[in-house]
Amino acid sequence: MTVRFFEWGQAAGGGGSSPTAPADALYGDPEQFSGTVTNVGATITFTTLTKWVHVINADSQWDLEVSFDGGANYIVIGSGGDLQENLHLASLLLRGNAAGTDYEIAAGLTA
């Protein structure tokens, strides 16, 4: 079993004689989101910057589109598909190609 610094209760930057956690170390449990998005779109904002993000199209019929650059470009995720990326993001944009496209998101956060 891998033990991360934060499982020892250590904050980023360390303290005293304790080990120092790297600034990009994972912090706590992944942040999770789920819901339904329309073709108008929605912004998902994370608590802190992400280290990785996993976007799942939980819809059985419609495509889900995700943008990591503020809406300039979108990546299409087919129904039942998913996308995993190692990215440092504060937020991302989602939209469906129909009203009522279901999604799930998990993201590992940095300190």
Q: Report residue 45 as tokens.
A: 């904002």
The pTM (predicted TM-score) of the whole model is 0.76
pLDDT of residue 29: 80
Residue that is written with structure tokens 């940095």 in the block: 110
As a whole number, mean pLDDT of residues 41-45 equals 93
**How far is 78 from 24, CA to CA, in rounded Å?**
31
**How far is 36 from 74, CA to CA, in rounded Å?**
17
pLDDT band (50, 70, 90) for residue 20: low
Task: List domains and CATH numbers for the chain.
Answer: 23-106 (2.60.120.10)
Residues in the chain: 111
pLDDT > 70: what percent of the chain? 74
